[in-house]
């Protein structure tokens, strides 16, 4: 299979590209570099452009004999999505639909969607399995869910089979230390904590200590980005072998509180950075833990870096080696 990866210069996308290259797939990365980094793409063909550009997409499919796609290009900040629904609907949905249509017309019949736990909204129970009601509480999650639903109709009309991967909290970095997480602005807990350990921030603020959890702080299911990347390969190969369309959660099925992350980072980095307790951040559910049994059963996926300590250690290696991210 020759594979087109949109958003392949981003945090998760660059890890997917690296994993594909490791297995000798021919990879074409399409990224408009609005958020991604050219330096994060470790090989294959790189094209700067928009996935919503139908003519470009059709040309790439023809020129490179693309038979499968991994679609990660999207805006993904939950907070921003609430104040700029127009931007999220236009980019994630509008461009997403243009992209799908171009692929269908060009004859591509295998599609992996980068989706999110944000499709579930406020959990009614945990661990959250795929049967949990999907009632997103933010625009970002809403756009991903709508794209999943649109995929069902494209399958009916064009025979395009898909796998949607609903990630929980992606974290960590490639253990080789060559690629990692570099967002601007940075909003995610683990990279922020790494920046505090490097002395680039004077403190970490814990958003809320009065949640109904064992230590009062939010619990999340952190999954190593390389484990996520491997899941994309398994999904692509399942589609290649004739497998059906499917939706899978991706998490470690284990929750860690904000305090645990902070303590683990202090231990791993050896830096006793300042931690402050602050008010809750709007829209944060108390607990998000995945039930990931379905992808384990169907595709044989197993997390390799399941321990929080390993996730934080690989993040630390990247941040320490690249204190200014890709700009350094």
> Which spans of this chain sit near ligand UFG (rule: CB under 6 A)?
76, 78, 116-118, 168-169, 187-189, 192, 204-207, 218, 220, 258, 281, 284, 288
| Of 106 and 205, CB closest to ligand UFG | 205
| Of 26 and 188, CB closest to ligand UFG | 188
Is 233 in contact with 23 (CB distance < 8 Å)? Answer: yes
Angstrom distance (rounded) from CA 61 to CA 133: 36
Is residue 140 annotated as a catalytic residue, yes or no?
A: yes
| Of 268 and 288, CB closest to ligand UFG | 288
* Burial bucket for residue 326 (CB in 10 Å: 0-12, 13-18, 19+): middle
In angstroms, what is the minimal distance from the CB of 228 to ligand UFG?
12
| Of 84 and 281, CB closest to ligand UFG | 281
In angstroms, what is the minimal distance from the CB of 61 to ligand UFG?
29
In angstroms, what is the minimal distance from the CB of 287 to ligand UFG?
9
In angstroms, what is the minimal distance from the CB of 155 to ligand UFG?
25
Choosing from 11, 88, 140, 211, the catalytic residue is 140
| Of 125 and 153, CB closest to ligand UFG | 125
Q: Which residue is nearest to ligand UFG (CB)?
A: 218
In angstroms, what is the minimal distance from the CB of 192 to ligand UFG?
5
Which positions are catalytic?
140
């Amino acid at each position: 299979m020759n594979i087109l990866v949109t958003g392949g210069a981003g945090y998760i996308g660059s890890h997917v590209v690296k994993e594909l290259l490791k297995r000798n797939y021919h990879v074409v990365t399409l990224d408009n570099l609005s958020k991604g980094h050219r330096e994060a793409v470790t090989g294959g063909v790189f094209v700067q452009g928009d996935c919503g550009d139908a003519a470009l997409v059709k040309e790439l499919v023809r020129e490179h004999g693309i038979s499968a796609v991994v679609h990660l290009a999207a805006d993904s900040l939950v907070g921003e999505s609430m104040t700029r629904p127009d931007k999220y609907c236009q980019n994630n949905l509008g461009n997403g639909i243009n992209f799908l249509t171009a692929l269908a017309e060009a004859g591509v019949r295998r599609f992996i969607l980068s989706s999110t736990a944000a499709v579930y909204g406020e959990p009614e129970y945990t661990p959250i399995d795929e049967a949990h009601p999907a009632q997103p509480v933010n625009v970002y999650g809403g756009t991903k869910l709508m794209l999943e639903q649109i995929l069902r109709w494209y399958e009916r009309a064009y025979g395009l089979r898909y796998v949607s991967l609903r990630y929980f909290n992606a974290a960590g970095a490639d253990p080789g230390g060559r690629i990692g997480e570099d967002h601007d602005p940075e909003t995610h807990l683990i990279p922020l904590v790494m920046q505090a350990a490097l002395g680039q921030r004077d403190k970490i603020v814990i958003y809320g200590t009065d949640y109904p959890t064992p230590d009062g702080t939010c619990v999340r299911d952190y999954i190593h980005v390389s484990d996520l990347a491997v899941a994309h390969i398994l999904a692509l190969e399942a589609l290649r072998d004739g497998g059906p369309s499917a939706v899978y959660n991706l998490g470690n099925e284990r929750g860690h509180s904000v305090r645990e992350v902070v303590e683990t980072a202090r231990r791993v980095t050896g830096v006793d950075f300042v931690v402050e307790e602050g008010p809750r951040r709007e829209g944060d559910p108390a607990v998000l833990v995945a039930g990931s049994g379905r992808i384990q059963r169907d595709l044989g996926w197993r997390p390799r870096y399941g321990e929080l300590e390993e996730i934080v250690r690989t993040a630390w290696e990247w941040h320490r080696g690249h204190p200014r991210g890709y700009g350094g």
